[in-house]
Chains A and B, each alone.
Chain A
């Protein structure tokens, strides 16, 4: 899922400084699951904003709402009405949700309440780890299922680098060197020859270096 982190309240306060009425808009998708922008976080952020503004002598009215998803038009239908009630919206969805609403509601002032950071897994309660960077041309078949693009600090395709020490990464020694892990895994499987495949320079266009990516499926489209 997409992992995000709440922005410091002081930063959100600065964004909405001129306004008297705002909506704090959560999303029940990824950001709710990673506990950054679901119903509970909407309550916390709203209470914190109100408290800060009350103490500053400029009370703020906050409309608290959470949508099923902010990245899907069918759940945005109520926004037109909401926009009439508030001066601005603080979205706790990932950047996808904020962009999508900004595209569709040009008049609406929408501000990000979270920092969107990575695609990650949830190995234990309260922990999230980056596992994939959406490069658009997956090579996990050569690397024993471990991604060197997301999990190697240098995104090396032909690792490890010379700084790999005792299975740890030289950039952050508490992090395992993923290329070391790939080596160990392939060795255990008797597939070390896969390491001998030299990756040529990667084409990063599918990763987004060619501009924003789109995906289409003609059979799902309505009309022509």
Chain B
């Protein structure tokens, strides 16, 4: 079975996590950083899935401490818009998740990635039983 791929789209300020931090998650983790999470577009999320990610984590600053004030709130709404499109095309919306992460707290980001990984594993096992 080929390794599952997860793409994290996040702002520069959110984290500086490295491959080592994600070593405990048995998946290929790709991190794409943006100047601000408010710059992450719905199309970026969809393209990540198109590029074979099975799930996408959008990560931005905590709402109260966003470096660019409301960037992460925008990211949250775009995440919801991407989830709606997934529903429209018959994909599980939970493949895309939003995480609010305290600045530079890698642990919280890794935890959120782990949760997404578990959700994806769950979806995979359901796929297996339904087909």
* Residues of chain A whose beta carbon lies under 8 Å from any beta carbon of chain B: 8-10, 13, 40, 43-44, 46-48, 50-52, 54-55
Contacts and interface: CB of A to CB of B under 8 A. Distances in A.
B58 to A, nearest CB: 15
A13 to B, nearest CB: 7
A10 B84 CA distance: 12
A44 B42 contact: yes
Interface in B55-96: 85, 88-91
Given A8-B88, A10-B90, A48 B46 contact: yes
Interface size class of B (residues with CB under 8 A): 10 to 19
Given A13-B89, A44-B85, A47-B47, 6 more contacts: A9-B88, A9-B89, A44-B42, A47-B46, A52-B90, A52-B91
A44 B46 contact: yes
B91 A55 contact: yes
Nearest to A64: B43
Contacts of B49: 51
Contacts of B41: 40, 43-44
Taking chain B's interface residues, is the majority helix, strand, or loop, or is none over half, making it mixed?
Answer: helix
A48 to B, nearest CB: 5
B43 A52 contact: no
A47 B90 contact: no
B40 to A, nearest CB: 13
A51 B92 CA distance: 13
A51 B89 contact: yes
Contacts of A13: 89
For the complex of A and B, 3 pairs with smallest distance between CB atoms: A47-B46, A43-B43, A52-B89
Contacts of A44: 41-43, 46, 85
Contact of B46 (A8, A10, A40, A51): A51
15 contacts: A8-B88, A9-B88, A9-B89, A10-B90, A40-B41, A40-B43, A44-B41, A44-B43, A44-B85, A47-B50, A48-B85, A48-B89, A52-B90, A52-B91, A55-B89
Interface string B26-42: 00000000000000011
